[in-house]
Structure 1
Amino acid sequence: MSARIVPLDYEGQAVRFNGDGWLHATEIADRFGKRPNDWLSLPSTIEYLEALNRRTVTGSSGNAWSMTKRGGKNQGTWLHPKLAVAFARWLSVDFAVWCDEQVDALLRGDMKSWASARREAAIGHKAVCDAIALNCEAHGKTPQKHHFINESRLINQVITGSFAGRDRDQLNAAELEIVTLAELRDSGLICAGMTYAERKANLLAYVRKLQDKHQRRIAA
């Protein structure tokens, strides 16, 4: 099972797949008030697994189609793409249709948008770091680790309201886009000589516009 996690957006909620199309079943089932084990123990599910096993060349056991990871940020039950849609249908028909589309795109290799968004976010972060370094040098100072950490937390604060770190690998493409645009703007504000308070006010207004635009795009 691929270690790369792809967080996608379903009605404003992140749904995690891995690069091979496996679904983080525990996470999404919890939102529907259900548990993956309840579905896996259904007679219809067991029958389906047995049929899958008969059709595979290797004759895999039922456990080969699901995996439970313990510990770490990705712990929980993950389901093979051949089970993901059937499981999603048990949760919600609408979610099943959406899930089918995402699994198909992942297996075709069409999920390049998230990878591109992640790379762009890394570029945005590098731009902010360069701007901080140049600003410190212009004032005869040596940039310190806390300068970069605090600026990253400022970006997170204007987006989420919390002055804390975020794991960008867990953000979806739309969230990464907002982070990237905010960091690129912040790098410009730093180079323009704005104070911390001025940058925060400017970024807050800018991010609100970006988020409003994203919500309108979802509603359209």
Structure 2
Amino acid sequence: MATSNVIPLQYEGQAYSFNAAGWINATEAAKRFGKEPAQWLRLPETKAYLLGLERRYGEITYVETSRARMDRGGGTWLHPRLAVPFARWLSIDFEIWCDEQIDRLIHGSAENWQLLRDSAAIGYRGMCDALQLTREAQGKSAARHHFINEARLINIAVFGQAKGVDRDSLSPAELRLLALIEQRDTFLLGRGLDYQQRKQELTRYAQEQLIPKLQGGAA
């Protein structure tokens, strides 16, 4: 089913639901633009496009409908081969963004996006536990702002800025790097390095992880 492994991705401050195979929740997307997917599916050019897909790829399922609540993946879902022309009908800018997200979901990594997202979340929890234990060992308590500052430190190392990042919109490569930096910070906290020392070490480590990718891209 298209509704399995739902992945929310952010576009202009709002979440749009995809799955790991690149399907999009068309009902949710169309509603944001004041439209309905049924309007697009009834268009003569859409019907002609569907017939063309069937001639090319056979009679596979391109449209699925779930009667679940919208917040549980309900609505009309479109196959990735339909998602981009559908997105074009809503907005050219939205089409370009959708095309990028679908390509990333399908071809961006052999690893599962959700597994990487979970790994980053587990890494963050481990880092917070290490921070709390480190401060307790020093006879200090861990307040909310300590965890916020540590999250900002991670963002500086990975993204070059301290402000918050929507993790659900990150690429597989970004999530992988994020998890690595969180693991390294957990280790550095255990070694007793202070904030500035961790910042320097994490920034250096992040650059080391990026250099092979840059060299591979230039080869």
Question: TM class by shorter-chain length?
Answer: 0.5 to 0.7
Deviation at 1:132, TM superposition (A): 0.4
Deviation at 1:146, TM superposition (A): 1.5
Aligned to 1:198: 197
Could you report, residue by residue, the CA deviation over 1:86-105 in whole angstroms, capped at 9, with x for unpaired residues? 679xx89xx79x849928x9
- Aligned equivalents of 2:157, 2:105: Cα separation in 1: 33
The one-letter amino acid of 1:151's match is E
Deviation at 1:216, TM superposition (A): 3.0
Deviation at 1:175, TM superposition (A): 0.4
Computed over aligned residues only, the root mean square deviation of the Cα atoms, in angstroms, reads: 4.6
In structure 1, runs of 5+ residues without a counterpart are: 8-15, 26-38, 57-63, 67-77
Aligned to 1:4: 6
Kindly tell me: are residues 5 and 192 of structure 1, through their superposed partners in 2, closer, same or farther at Cα, counting changes over 3 Å? Answer: same
What is the SS of the residue equivalent to 1:198? helix
- Kept in 1, the 8 Å contact 2:155–2:163? The answer is yes
Aligned to 1:208: 207
Could you report, residue by residue, the CA deviation over 1:34-67 in whole angstroms, capped at 9, with x for unpaired residues? xxxxx98986335325788xx99xxxxxxx689x
Q: Is it true that 1:131 corresponds to 2:130 in the alignment?
A: yes
The one-letter amino acid of 2:211's match is D
- Aligned equivalents of 2:213, 2:195: Cα separation in 1: 26
Normalising by the residue count of structure 1, what TM-score does the alignment of the two structures yield?
0.60
Aligned residues: 180
Aligned to 1:163: 162
Amino-acid identity (%): 41
In the TM superposition, what are the counterparts of 1:1-220 in structure 2 within 5 Å? 1=3, 4-5=6-7, 17-19=18-20, 21-23=22-24, 44-49=45-50, 79-84=78-83, 99=103, 102=106, 112-219=111-218
What is the SS of the residue equivalent to 1:121? helix
Deviation at 1:119, TM superposition (A): 2.1
Aligned to 2:92: none
The one-letter amino acid of 2:46's match is T
What is the SS of the residue equivalent to 1:148? helix
- Aligned equivalents of 1:173, 1:46: Cα separation in 2: 34
